[in-house]
């Protein structure tokens, strides 16, 4: 059955206009005012609502082994929660185990998603080891739709790779058109500072933040961009947290260097004080890079306004407080690093960005959907409301009042980083490839309906 969404205010990265949207099967067929309904159509009245392209969260960690634990959302619970929040595509991370082939990791992660994913999903590959055939493996993965790779400059002996590996991988992308996503923190320096802190008996959660200075992030961002420049390829900095690091991206972009960066709601809205909460509750806010001092927050909003930051993702990596975060009760380095957020991204950015007058509606759509689709090789299948695009659509009620809470959220985690935050503006209906999967707070989708997204290389970062 065809679907007609009538009377809504269609918001794209370019404009906002009153228009109807005609959907045939999984695809948008037409977008214009006055499309006539016929009796065979399913008609949705969106008067007073916005019609947005489905959100795209290009940084999630579902069912991920990390820090002696496994992230608590799997592909079913995590993508269902994403859908409740208006996100209809994610890009998660497969991890190459050292000494193994990247193809094995891809197969492992495809199996994790199979039969479970509720929305469409792509995969980046975390490269831990180039070995003998790593560079050829990167090419093979690009052919499998893995158009981006994450490298770590932090976590020595776990995920960190050296500059030679980074430079080789960057140089390969200059040929195969993939994009390197960089976790930019100077892990070697941080490890020395951490060891000193532990030797001084500083074991509380707040030392996680106090041992990771902003300069350690800025230095790594600078080095990553410099290496990408030498290799002649774009680079994308993930989860950028502070003004110091942003200045490095700004300086490079002002020189015309294709450097891109994302930030996350937690860096825009929370600060280091959260880690000082009593009763070990600061552990709920232990992730890397850490939360920073308050002065950084408006600078990151400025970065989004000025396009020095292009994307807001979540870095959703949930661990339950009661039985996972607690592992670090006597030693902050043993707290599993990561926080939940896949469900609340649109609510928070709409409320604190659009309602607060910091960004326009179109910019909201751009940073939460269209830019990640472009940069990560999914556009215009995803991230657009146009004839031929997938009918991934969110009918958004700009007047809906909602209080974020772990008591009502759908993520499989026992706390919310944004507990008690009140927002105006929320999802009413979510469509994924033409199917209504959320309506009025009800789940109508099915686990396993989500499809693997084969992404194309030479996406928006190359233009």
Binding site for ligand URP (CB under 6 A): 61, 183, 239, 287-288, 315, 317, 337-338
Q: Which of 84/267 has CB closer to ligand URP? A: 267
> Could you say which of Zn ion, ligand URP, none residue 338 binds, taking C-beta under 5 to 8 angstroms by partner kind?
ligand URP
Q: Which of 60/89 has CB closer to ligand URP? A: 60
Q: Which of 300/359 has CB closer to ligand URP? A: 300
Among the residues of 41-162, which ranges form H helices?
A: 75-84, 102-113, 134-143
> Could you say which of ligand URP, Zn ion, none residue 172 binds, taking C-beta under 5 to 8 angstroms by partner kind?
none
Q: Which of 274/315 has CB closer to ligand URP? A: 315
Sign of the C-alpha dihedral computed for residues 11, 14, 16 and 20 taken in this order: negative
Closest approach, Cβ 280 to ligand URP, in A, equals: 17
Radius of gyration of the chain (CA): 21
> Could you say which of ligand URP, Zn ion, none residue 50 binds, taking C-beta under 5 to 8 angstroms by partner kind?
none
For the range 207-213, what are the long-range contacts, defined as Cβ-Cβ under 8 Å and sequence gap of 24 or more?
207/332, 208/275, 208/286, 208/288, 208/290, 208/332, 208/333, 208/335, 208/337, 209/272, 209/275, 209/290, 209/291, 209/292, 212/185, 212/288, 212/289, 212/290
Decide if residue 212 touches Zn ion (CB under 5 A): no
At 349 the three-state DSSP class reads helix
Which DSSP letter does residue 334 get? G
> Could you say which of Zn ion, ligand URP, none residue 376 binds, taking C-beta under 5 to 8 angstroms by partner kind?
none
Gap between the Cα atoms of 150 and 166, Å rounded: 10
Q: Which of 187/282 has CB closer to Zn ion? A: 187
Q: Between residue 213 and residue 242, which ones bind Zn ion under the rule CB under 5 A?
A: none
Q: Between residue 171 and residue 190, which ones bind Zn ion under the rule CB under 5 A?
A: 183
Q: Answer yes or no: are the C-beta atoms of 386 and 19 closer than 8 Å.
A: no
Closest approach, Cβ 295 to ligand URP, in A, equals: 22
Q: Which of 183/351 has CB closer to Zn ion? A: 183
Give me the DSSP letters along 362-429.
HHHHIIIIIHHHHHTT-TTTSS--STTSB--EEEEEEEEEEE--TTT--SSSS--TTTT-EEEEEEEE
Q: Between residue 297 and residue 316, which ones bind Zn ion under the rule CB under 5 A?
A: 315
Listed residue (315, 341, 331) closest to 416, CA to CA = 341
Closest approach, Cβ 391 to ligand URP, in A, equals: 31
> Could you say which of ligand URP, Zn ion, none residue 71 binds, taking C-beta under 5 to 8 angstroms by partner kind?
none
> Could you say which of Zn ion, ligand URP, none residue 337 binds, taking C-beta under 5 to 8 angstroms by partner kind?
ligand URP
Closest approach, Cβ 412 to ligand URP, in A, equals: 16
Closest approach, Cβ 366 to Zn ion, in A, equals: 22
Gap between the Cα atoms of 100 and 107, Å rounded: 12
Closest approach, Cβ 239 to Zn ion, in A, equals: 6
At 25 the three-state DSSP class reads coil
Q: Which of 21/268 has CB closer to Zn ion? A: 268
Residues that bind Zn ion (CB under 5 A): 183, 315
């Amino acid at each position: 059955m065809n679907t007609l969404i009538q009377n809504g205010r269609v918001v794209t990265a370019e404009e906002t206009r009153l228009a109807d949207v005609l959907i045939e099967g999984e695809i948008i067929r037409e977008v214009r005012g006055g499309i006539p309904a016929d009796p065979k159509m399913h008609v949705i009245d969106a008067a007073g609502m916005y019609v947005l392209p489905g959100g795209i969260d290009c940084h999630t960690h579902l069912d991920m082994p990390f820090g002696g634990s496994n992230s608590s959302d799997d592909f079913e619970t995590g993508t269902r929660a994403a859908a409740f929040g208006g996100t209809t595509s994610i890009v998660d991370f497969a991890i190459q185990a050292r000494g193994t082939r990247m193809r094995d990791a891809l197969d492992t992660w495809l199996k994790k998603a199979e039969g479970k994913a509720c929305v469409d999903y792509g995969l980046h590959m975390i490269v831990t080891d180039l070995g003998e055939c790593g560079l050829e493996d990167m090419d093979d993965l690009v052919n499998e739709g893995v158009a981006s790779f994450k490298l770590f400059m932090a976590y020595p002996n776990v995920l960190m790779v050296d500059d030679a590996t980074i430079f080789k991988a960057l140089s390969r992308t200059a040929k195969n058109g993939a994009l390197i996503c960089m976790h930019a923190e100077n892990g070697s320096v941080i490890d020395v500072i951490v060891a000193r802190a532990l030797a001084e008996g500083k074991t509380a959660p707040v030392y996680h933040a106090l041992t990771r200075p902003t300069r350690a992030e800025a230095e790594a961002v600078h080095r990553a961009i410099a290496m990408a420049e030498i290799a002649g390829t774009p680079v994308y900095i993930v989860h950028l947290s502070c003004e110091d690091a942003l200045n490095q991206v700004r300086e490079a972009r002002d020189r015309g260097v294709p450097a891109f960066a994302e930030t996350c709601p937690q860096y825009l809205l929370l600060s280091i004080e959260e880690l000082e909460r009593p009763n070990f509750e600061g552990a709920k806010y232990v992730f890397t890079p850490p939360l920073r001092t308050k002065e950084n927050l408006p600078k990151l909003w400025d970065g989004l306004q000025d396009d020095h930051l292009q994307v807001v993702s979540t870095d959703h990596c949930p661990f339950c407080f009661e039985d996972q975060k607690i592992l670090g009760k006597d030693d902050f380095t043993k707290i599993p690093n990561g926080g939940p957020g896949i469900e609340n991204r649109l609510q928070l950015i709409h409320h604190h960005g659009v309602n607060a007058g910091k960004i326009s509606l179109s910019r909201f759509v751009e940073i939460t959907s269209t830019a990640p689709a472009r940069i990560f090789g999914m556009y215009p299948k995803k991230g657009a409301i146009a004839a031929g695009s997938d009918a991934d659509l969110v009918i958004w009620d700009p007047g809906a009042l909602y209080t974020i809470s772990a008591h009502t959220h759908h993520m499989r985690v026992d706390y919310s980083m944004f507990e008690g935050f009140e927002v105006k503006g929320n999802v009413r209906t979510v469509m994924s490839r033409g199917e209504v999967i959320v309506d009025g707070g009800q789940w109508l989708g099915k686990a396993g309906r989500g499809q693997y997204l084969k992404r194309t290389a030479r996406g928006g970062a190359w233009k």
